[in-house]
Structure 1
Amino acid sequence: MFLIYDSEAKTFEVVGNEQNLNAAQGAGIQSAQNIAHLGVKALITGHCGPKAFRVLAAAGIKIYNTSAATVNEALDLYLAGKLTEAASADVEGHWV
C-alpha cells in the first residue's frame, strides 16, 4: 500500500499495491512503475533495492530513505528538508 501526499493541496490518497503481495520476483520493479504512473515526484521509504531504484531514478523520482517510525514522522522530516536524497539503492535485491 502507498500513501500519496499532495504537498500543494495538503491531501493524501491511499493506493493499493496488492498485486505485488505474493510476487516471487519483480515486485520492486512493478511497484516503482506503479508509483511513476501515479505522477509521484518523491518517494519516502525504509529501503529501496537496485532494480526499483533504477526505475524510479529513470522516471525522475527522488528517493529518500528513513527509519521514521510513522508515516507522519517521515512526512514531517521530508517537509522540513531533513531527509537526504538517496544516491543509490541501500539494499541488495531479494533481501529479507
Structure 2
Amino acid sequence: MKIAISSMGKTKEDLLDIRFGRCEYFQIYNTENKEIIILENKGLNASGGAGIAAANQLIEEKVNVVVTGKLGPNAFDIIDKEGIKAYSCDSLKIIKVMEYYNKGELKEIKMAGPSHQG
C-alpha cells in the first residue's frame, strides 16, 4: 500500500502541510517494501487547479491513501472517484502522522472543504 502525505519538507521530521494542492512535497510511503519517495507537488505553482494537478499526480503514483489537512471540492471528487482513502491531520511531524495513521487515529475525510481560487 502507498500512503501519500502532504509535506512542508523532505524528511520524517518535517511537518505535514495542511494544504493539499499547494503543499511543497508529497512523501509517499510504501508499506510493503518500506520505500519512501519524495515528490515535488506539481500543483504548487499552478496558476489554477492546484488540487486537480496534485490529485492526478498521486493517481499516477498509484497511491492508496492520502493524509493532508483538507481537500478542496475538485481534489476531493477526483480522489474519491478513484477510491483513494483520505484522512485529515493537523500539522505534525511526518513521523508522528505515520504513527497516528498506523494506530487508526486519523479522521477520514468524507466531504470536501471550501473551494479556493488561485
Structure 2 residue aligned with 1:2: 26
Tell me, yes or no, if structure 1 residue 43 matches structure 2 residue 66: yes
* CA displacement 1:6-46 (0-9 Å, x = unmatched): 112222110112x4222221010110011011000000001
How many angstroms does 1:68 deviate by? 4.2
Gaps of 5+ in 2: 1-24
Task: Tell me which residue corresponds to 1:11.
Answer: 35
TM-score in terms of structure 1 length: 0.88
Larger RCO: Structure 1 or Structure 2 (Cα < 8 Å, ≥ 6 residues apart)?
2
**TM-score normalized by structure 2?**
0.73
Aligned CA RMSD, in angstroms, stands at 1.6
Compare the two structures and name the one with the higher helix fraction: 1
Percent of aligned positions with the same letter in both sequences? 33
Aligned partner (choices 50, 53, 60) of residue 30 of structure 1: 53
Deviations 1:40-95 (A, max 9, x none): 00000012111100000111100000014111111110011111221111x21117
What amino acid does structure 2 have at the position aligned with 1:51? N
The 8 Å contact of residues 55 and 78 in structure 2, kept in 1 or not, is answered as: yes
Which structure has the highest strand share of the two? 2
Residues in 2 aligned to 1:20 and 1:55: alpha-carbon distance in whole angstroms = 14
Report SS of the residue matched to 2:108.
Answer: coil
The CA distance in 1 between the partners of 2:70 and 2:93, in whole Å, is 14
| In structure 1, distance between residues paired with 2:38 and 2:59 | 15
Structure 1 runs (4+) deviating above 4 angstroms are: none
**Distance in structure 2 (CA, Å) of the matches to 1:24 and 1:12:** 29
